[in-house]
Structure 1
Amino acid sequence: MTVDLNADIGEGFGIWRIGDDQAMLGMVTSANLACGFHAGDPAGLLEVCKLAAEAGAHVGAQVSYRDLHGFGRRFIDVSFEDLFADVIYQIGALQAVAAVAGTRVSYVKPHGALYNTVFSHTQQARAVTAAVLAVDPGLPVLGQPGSELFRQAEMVGLRTVAEVFADRAYKADGTLAPRREPGAVLHEPAIIAERAVRMVKEGVVQADDGTIVDVRVDSICLHGDSPGAPHIAAAVWEQLRRNHIDLQPFA
């Protein structure tokens, strides 16, 4: 039994650093790198790409709205044409940085508010998938099963990779609990690790109301900007291996 373990990293900007990217890269198999629109600056991303190459972690373009001020967590009613071009721009920028660092972009994942929006927003989901297709039809899209993003991706022949969140609360309908709700983000390493194992072995997660929700798991996401993120990643890594679940990149 194998699974991918991914984390959002490279989210610092200038003198402001978020999380311990080097520590996270020692444990994850895939790294979702900010592309400069919600976080990340060129010098920092070049450094993180080099670290990812050394660690053997696959690099993904974490594309977002143009929202540095809000860390990409605010919905923007952007047109198809603008979002299409923005996603192309972000993937292309990270491709160049990754190539210089000795690695490559292996997949694409929306970030924050864009991730939540393309679960049901047809036009924005179509803009993201059209952009990925235009840049490289071989790039997989990482996201939530049952989403409009996956429907649009499958319609144009893009590979979809099913993701779950061990450190986020779920609603009974299988969507993520909004961050503004108490308990939406989990912080206890042991609890997060236990959830990760159950997701992989049983294919379920307990929602915030106690409902048992079916999940499909190709990759488990952790958030590199959470307090104590490396400790959480270490606990998840240890519990997965203890339960004979091997960590391998999906891409």
Structure 2
Amino acid sequence: MDLKDQIHKDLLPKHVAIIMDGNGRWAKQKGLMRVIGHENGTKSVRETVEASAELGIKNLTLYAFSTENWRRPKLEVQTLMKLLVKSLKKEIKTLQDNNIRLLAIGALSDLPKKAYEELQYVIEKTKNNEHMTLTLALSYGSREEIVNVIKELSVKVKNNIISPENIDESIINKHLYTQNLPDVDLLIRTSGEQRISNFLLWQIAYAELYFTDIFWPDFKKHNLYEALIDYQNRERRFGKTSEQLT
């Protein structure tokens, strides 16, 4: 039985998030420029998106560019933004053919004008697709997201739009970038690093974490299958005991 056949379709995570790490180190190991690693990483994005859609995963969120990534060398940032525009233009057919809706979260107004416009164009063109939602986290930082929620709620409390006593998890969820997405069930990080890196801190409260040593450009369908099989073999208790679940 191959890996794909070992996956139970009725136990798929509703929301998978991936920290796509290791592009630069992949290139360095091969004596190549970092940008070559990023370019090869787009192939893994395509393969992972298509495999997820084929399996029936409804929500996939990819950490494409963090707020901290703006601190990288200027040339690398410029190259990443150009690669984003190129990838969006190239992959729109894949999104349409697979009935995938594109969303984006983060401080999108910080993106270069051309990248922002291309992103909004693809979002608009795919807005009626229903098979899967692909979300790109761009110029995204979870702490910044949470700070923005606090600011918004503070203004609403000040203007008597909402009472402090009525603020609960559901209210906070409605003010997050991910307000239309379910909580993350499975978080995957490539490259061997075992940290969250300011990604979806609120949304992964009960996510299963899966770390692999594989650099992102080498992450293929079978690696996704391995992560899903590992996820399905775990017991998700959400604070309960094993006995309560059975």
Fold match (TM-score > 0.5) = no
Q: Name whichever structure is richer in strand by fraction.
A: 1
Structure of higher RCO (CA pairs closer than 8 Å, 6+ residues apart): 2
Q: Which has the larger radius of gyration?
A: 2
Q: Name whichever structure is richer in helix by fraction.
A: 2
Q: Scaled by the length of structure 2, what TM-score is found?
A: 0.38
